[in-house]
Amino acid sequence: MDAYWGSLAVFANTDTDHPYLPSIDKPVWILGEEHSALNDQEEIANDIRSRLWFTYRRGFAPIGGEKGPTTDTGWGCMHRCGQMLIGQALVHLHLGREWRWNPDRLDRSYLRILKMFEDKPTAPYSIHKIASKAASDDNKTVSSWLGPNTVAQILKKLSASDRWTNLVVHVTTEDGIVMQEIKSLCRRSASARNSKIAAIDESTCNKDTSPPSPISHDSLHLSAERKNSDRPVIVSSPITVEVDDESVAIILPPVYNMSFPSGDDSSPTSEVFSVLTTTTAASSTWHPLFLVLPLRLGLHEFNMRYAPALQGLFKLRQCVGVIGGRPNHALWLIGSVGDDEVLCLDPHTTQAAAILGEPAPGVSEEAASLDGSFHCTTPLRIPLRRLDPSLAVAFVCRTEADFDDLCAHLLADKLSSSLFEVHETRPRNIPPPSFTSLRTPEEWGELFASSGPAIPASPTPLTSKCKADGDFELV
């Protein structure tokens, strides 16, 4: 399998010095920057070489106990792609998109970012943290393969320990991008943090100066659920659930169509929105947003009708890439070539475990060698049709203006609407965020038993005999 994917890096029409580029001129987009395949080859090479490249490692401390694995070779490819995805977000925020790697001049912020991905249990985004969180939260073995959605959810949880960046990580579900709710999350996290810090400063008896915990997206959802506990809720979007390796259940939830008095604009979704927007509108503090959208672009294989829309995302300056690939062979997609190919960084190279020392002004030979192991000079160029349809695209927005700009481009681009929807506020036919996590008919039954009148019809699962991807989950 690895040999097959490696062979895809070289095509018949390639440049001998840059085999990942075609020998004919094609537009190349890499994370929001445009290049020419013929005229900008060195710029392209420098840009790709400056991305963080996380690969299999060997010889690190055991994961999950003394008998745990000391290498992630063979199972950690999506873990590493998740590291590359959020690593690019950190580079974007702390160094800037224009930053280029210089092995002779290592920036302290750059070294600080690398330390967050060290192969040791205490590093915030280490292979140890990702694998252990997956094992504890999802009943997986430590060495289980993960899908893009699972990795995104784990990164969301791990980001809480990153006090340097203070990211707000939002992973969408079936609702797409709901602008006002996401804005509220970024503002509310900042407001809650500032309020708690002020309370600590004013307290004369509590001397605990540890940094406050940010309010999580889940806690806001619970708050919204309590707000609506005495009102019926519209749940009208079917979802897919993996039944086994051979089939997928399409569950049609019960629909309760609420009628409102003439002139009454109240609704469950508006109440949820009021809960989510309790932060003062004039708040000027915005926490950087890391937005991840899990997608499934096809049933058994990638549907090429989505190709133009997916490639268009690489033209956005907020884009930090896509994680996907093939079953058991994950890749980080960083750009597009022409109309039907993508550039990828491949984690399927095993290197020695990376443990960095404390950042220092000088650059030792050993440090320079280790630093070089985080950068790739041989990316892959792969036809889109070879990709698995299950993937996740991510964006980073340093400011609210960045988020507004991203949404404006997505709304103006008619192609992106085929991938996901963008809404100013939550449409009334889309479940509030506190209910979009429901995955089984039993959960819907419990919801309606407690929050609304009895629904005579039970949710109906429709089973489709389609090949379910056991390693890249259906989303």
Q: What is the pLDDT of residues 193-234, one digit of tens each?
A: 555 444 444 444 454 444 444 444 444 444 433 443 344 444
Distance separating alpha carbons of residues 376 and 109, to the nearest angstrom: 20
Q: Of the residues 72, 346, 388, 471, which is catalytic?
A: 346
pLDDT (tens digit per residue) in 65-82: 899 999 999 999 999 999
Q: Catalytic: 205? A: no
Q: Of the residues 217, 221, 329, 348, which is catalytic?
A: 348
Among 89, 90, 87, 84, smallest CA distance to 54 is for 84
Higher model confidence: residue 463 or residue 327?
327
Q: Catalytic: 208? A: no
Among 151, 120, 116, 118, smallest CA distance to 137 is for 151
What is the per-residue pLDDT for 463? Answer: 40
Q: Of the residues 18, 35, 77, 175, which is catalytic?
A: 77
The model's confidence at residue 258, banded by pLDDT at 50, 70 and 90, is: very low
Residues 13-32 have a mean pLDDT of: 80
Q: What is the mean pLDDT of the chain?
A: 76
**pLDDT exceeds 50 at position 17:** yes
Distance separating alpha carbons of residues 181 and 274, to the nearest angstrom: 10
Lowest-confidence segment of 112-121, 241-250, 278-287, 421-430 by average pLDDT: 241-250
Q: Catalytic: 348? A: yes
Residues 109-131 have a mean pLDDT of: 96
**pLDDT exceeds 50 at position 383:** yes
What is the per-residue pLDDT for 257? Answer: 42
Distance separating alpha carbons of residues 391 and 148, to the nearest angstrom: 6
The model's confidence at residue 115, banded by pLDDT at 50, 70 and 90, is: very high
Lowest-confidence segment of 173-182, 344-353, 366-375 by average pLDDT: 366-375
What is the per-residue pLDDT for 190? Answer: 55
Among 161, 171, 176, 189, smallest CA distance to 85 is for 171
Dihedral, 199, 202, 208, 213 alpha carbons, nearest 10 = 20
